[in-house]
Amino acid sequence: MTSFTNMSFLFLLKYIIFEVE
C-alpha cells in the first residue's frame, strides 16, 4: 500500500511540475 501511495504521489508531483512548466 505504501509503495502504491508513494508512486501516486510522485506521479502527481511530476504532473504538477509538467503543468507548471
pLDDT at 14: 96
pLDDT at 2: 81
Alpha helices in the chain (DSSP H): 2-20
pLDDT at 6: 92
Give per-residue pLDDT as tens, 1-21: 688 899 999 999 999 999 887
- Give the global pTM: 0.41
pLDDT at 13: 96
Q: How far apart are CA 16 and CA 9, in angstroms?
A: 11
- How many Cα neighbours within 13 Å face the side chain of 2? 0
pLDDT at 1: 60
Angle at 21 between CA 15 and CA 14, to 5 degrees: 20
Q: Quote the cell numbers at residue 6.
A: 508513494
